[in-house]
Structure 1
Amino acid sequence: MGSALTTVGLPVALGIIMFGLGLGLTLADFARVAKHPRAVIVALACQLLVLPAICLGLVALFQLPPLLAVGMMMLAASPGGTVANLYSHLFRGDVALNISLTAINSVIAVVSLPLITNLAIAIFDPFDDQLGLQLSKTVEVFLVVLGPAALGMLVRRLAPGFADRMDKPVRVGSFVVLVVVIAGAVISNWDILVANVASLALITALFCVASLAIGYFVPRWLGVGRRQAVASSFEIGIHNAVLAIVIAQTVLGSIEVSLPAGVYGVLMLFIAGGFGWLIRDRRAASDAAEPVAA
């Protein structure tokens, strides 16, 4: 628990990832939401209200132990990230909307993540007086989430050419650091992970499927365009598992709370890919059957 991998490596990995995210963001990304206000409002409502409620229902249905239940709720409160942008690009979603949603969600998460986490702790009562996101820890979450991203945005503002050149190296570097750190964390906590993976695989898979489906079908039902719905689906369905792991292990100091995010982080890659193929096939069939609208 106190290894350098978890206390130093994970925050560094997240910091590099968030810095890379900031290199690709400008203030225009926040202003762009005015072009698709309905899509943004629907996506945020699903992210902040619907998903935590569904996650709470799944946790009650599966009767998870308190610490794992808190970990699931923390995962539900985590925003999307760069992986969501990648999947949206692969399956022809509105990537610009993804970037805007990621930026807004990252800011909102500074408040919503501690709020939902503390609510989960109050509900499930994990019998640990030290478990909770008090004011000082909430400030720590703020620094972990927004500090590197703001620095990346500042670099892009002052040196856009340098930011463009560094975009790919930072992405590759963040991936390498992340793989090394996560692999080390898994190896060092292998016994705990094996003991809990059976109870977490099904609930995390169901939560991922529910997140993707809600992110796609609810916006479509409310009249949002297909490309925006695809973007919403991946933004809502692919949670930032790394953020949840970092906060659980370094801020809350609990490996058990980080386990749902760890299992989810692996399964979501395959589930999101399958879901993307599914909605792509449906879109192709719809385009073949319907005349193209101007």
Structure 2
Amino acid sequence: MKTIVVTLLTFFAAVISAIAQDFQGMAVYESKTSTSDFQSSFAGNRDITPEMQKMFEERMKKMFEKTFVLHFNRNASIYKEEEKLDAPGQGNSGFRMASSMMGGGGTQYKNIKEKTYSVDKEVFGKEFLVKDSLPVLEWKMGSETKKIGDYTCYKATAMRKIDQSDFRNIRMKKDDEKKNENESSNKKVEEKSTNFMDQIDMPTEIEITAWYTPEIPVNQGPENYWGLPGLIMEVNTGKTVILCSKVVLNPKDKKEIKAPTKGKAVSQKEFDEIVKKKMEEMREMGGGRGGFQMRVGG
């Protein structure tokens, strides 16, 4: 009798383990980034017609409002922008480059067990495979709760270093900031700079507010966010909000969760340096008057 009980317990343990390993979920996230800084920088510019302003705002919306799908199991996940039919002029390399810098493009793979990630990105006509260790955030757990869909979520906050190739966190410098910089470097201020790189400021660190639900006990979330005792349903960085709009557990059609392999393998730091160097080259090619212009199509 004892042997039968042990055999049954072993059998059930094996079944539970197999079910756990086969577990998979799918979550849809809507990502929106504030464009107020960019829009205000163009306000009052006499060279920009109302038609140009409207076109600019439409293309900014295309870059800054995205839908992503996260497929996850207990150990790994893939996060990818939902494929949409490109409008005319938005399938070119310039738009893809700008979109990539605003958090889109490529397949982002996280392996929670190994604490690594990889993402394939196409910038400047070249394919890169960024592979690195997952950022370990020191989450501060809160007691505040709120409902997201049908799930009760808990608040957590952390400080995070910013990848310098992620332009969603940039802000436009104020005129007095640019003036003080020019004066400190003994530059003569003759006219308002139209060089894009001279007008932006990139922080090195930001505060993250996340909302997670223990009702889905997986160590997963959108982008490179992880490390909470439940699926991360919302991330707020101040300028960007990533909000889960749909969750399906154990979907009928399973998704193969594997790391991307295409592109030149580089670390995140190396990739940031490549982007920075290329941006500087484009800035110099633009000359002193216009400088680098972030074209997003056309």
Q: TM-score, normalised by structure 1?
A: 0.24
Q: From the two aligned structures, give the one with the greater strand fraction.
A: 2
More helix by share: 1
Give the alignment's TM-score, normalised by structure 2. Answer: 0.24
The higher-RCO structure (CA 8 Å, 6+ apart) is: 1
